[in-house]
A and B are shown apart, each in its own frame.
Chain A
Amino acid sequence: MGNYCFNELSVGMTSERSYIFTEQRVEEFSTLIDDKAPVHVDIEFAKSQGFGGRVVHGLFVQSVLSGMLGNEIPGPKSVINNISMKMHNPVLVGQAVNYKIEITALTPSVAAISLSFSGMVEEKIVISGKALCSFPNSP
């Protein structure tokens, strides 16, 4: 786990993680947020909609980034001010997403960190976006 202070971070620092969306994890997420739409839980329905299998909830794919921001870069001393992202392709149950976060800018006057991130399934991008985090108790 990263435990950085603001002044220990620099533009270009990265964090990477691979996360497998196993059947069990998707089932648990479905129950947790009470979203059992058939495209997520019914493989025949998902295939009838043109997908190769059950589709992982988009918000689940996004939520892994929260852990990366909070645990690695910028780390547990920071908070997320805002985050925006775009889903490019569906993630199917059983697939692994390789996430990467990179610091793109620092704003020392308010101890803020701008980051970009992406998620890939093999060579295909599935998610990308930007986040702004800050250190409430800088430095």
Chain B
Amino acid sequence: MNEKIMDSITPIFREVFDDPSLMVTKELSAKDVKNWDSLNHITLIVELERLTGLSFSTDELVKLKDVGDFVQLLAEKGYRG
């Protein structure tokens, strides 16, 4: 199921970070992506909320260490990709 979620969110990451070949893995985090700055982080969250129809709290977001954590959060909230 998590692979389906990864496939679903990958286009958002590629568009926000302007990198069509970006490999979105569970281990990916802000330190791995050149354009993952504070402004693009906000755009990323807004686009992901739009895609999934979910809302996140600030507390939920600050706990995330990498994409894998985020995918897990999406799954826990019922998103299936």
A residues lining the B interface (CB < 8 Å):
79, 81-82, 105, 107-112, 114, 132, 134, 136
The reply to whether B39 and A112 form a contact with Cβ atoms under 8 Å apart is no
Partner of B45, one of A79, A82, A105, A112: A112
- Distance A110 CA – B21 CA, assembled complex (angstroms): 26
- Distance A110 CA – B46 CA, assembled complex (angstroms): 8
Partner of B43, one of A82, A105, A108, A109: A82
| Chain B residues touching A, range | 10 to 19
The reply to whether B39 and A109 form a contact with Cβ atoms under 8 Å apart is no
Number of A-B contacts defined by CB within 8 Å = 43
Chain B: interface secondary structure?
helix
* 9 closest cross-chain pairs (CB), A and B: A110-B42, A109-B56, A110-B45, A134-B42, A107-B46, A81-B39, A112-B46, A112-B42, A109-B58
Known: A110-B58, A112-B46. 14 other contacts (CB 8 A): A81-B39, A81-B40, A107-B42, A108-B57, A109-B45, A109-B49, A110-B42, A110-B45, A110-B61, A112-B42, A112-B43, A114-B46, A134-B39, A134-B42
B residues lining the A interface (CB < 8 Å):
38-43, 45-46, 49-50, 55-58, 60-61
Chain A: interface secondary structure?
strand
